Amino acid sequence: MTKQLGVMADEELELLDFMLDESARPITFIAMFDRDDIPEAVRTSLRKAAPMIKRGARPQTSPLPLTREVNMRNPFSFAGFPSWKRVFADKSKEAQARVYGDVAFRNQFREELKNPVGFGNWSRITVHEVQSPGLKRYEGKTVAELAAEQGKDGVDAFLDLTLAPRSCRTRTCCWVWATAARTSTCCATRAIRPTCSAPGCASARC
């Protein structure tokens, strides 16, 4: 129903109203989740939709955390940022490593984060698991915390750890990406977890 997560435009409200009238049945619609970049989006949308909710419209959210498994070899969670098209253009490990380390790529990503696509807060991404014993000290810390400790911004802290030697067999580590919990919706948690593609590795995750 919504073109933007958590945001109901006027034409979408009109469509919902039309569907309620024509079907004479309850209508469910998606997706009402909180966003860091537009904190009041869900509340505003629910206020606008209140008359239709009284008539049987039912907004969809989730009472449980949501997880999305991706890895930095296929980082679909960042596909909405134009700069990341380079990551998908050549998906060999060597090519992606060059992109992640490229200053121009990082600078473009920084500019795009000024107008985020559902993401813009490095304190929401936590290092969940790394394989290298030398990097275990980072587990449980947010990217924002790593950046502060290392004197970097979030982009450099995030991508530098991704490129760290033996952070995982796939040159990535396991991240947890979460949004804030709200009383009117739920806490949506997205996990960035690597799937091992190393020769001879039968594990779905390193």
- The reported pLDDT for the residue numbered 76 is 83
Task: Kindly report the number of other CB atoms within 10 A of residue 10's CB atom.
Answer: 8
Contact in structure between 16 and 52 (CB atoms under 8 Å):
yes
What does the alpha-carbon distance between residue 147 and residue 194 come to, in Å, rounded to a whole number? 22
Exposed e or buried b per residue across 74-112, where buried means at least 16 C-beta atoms within 10 angstroms of its C-beta:
bbebbeebebbebbeeeeeeeebeebbeeeebbebbeeb
Instruction: Please provide residue 90's backbone torsions phi and psi, each rounded to the nearest 5 degrees.
Output: -135, 110
Q: Which two tokens mark 134?
A: 């030398």
User: Which pLDDT does position 74 carry in this prediction?
Assistant: 83
Spans of all domains in the chain: 10-59, 76-192
Instruction: Read off the pTM.
Output: 0.65
Token duo for residue 146: 């790593």
Q: Please report, as a single letter, which amino acid is at residue 168.
A: C
pLDDT digits (tens, 9 = 90+) for 98-149: 999 999 999 999 999 887 665 667 887 888 777 788 888 888 888 899 999 9
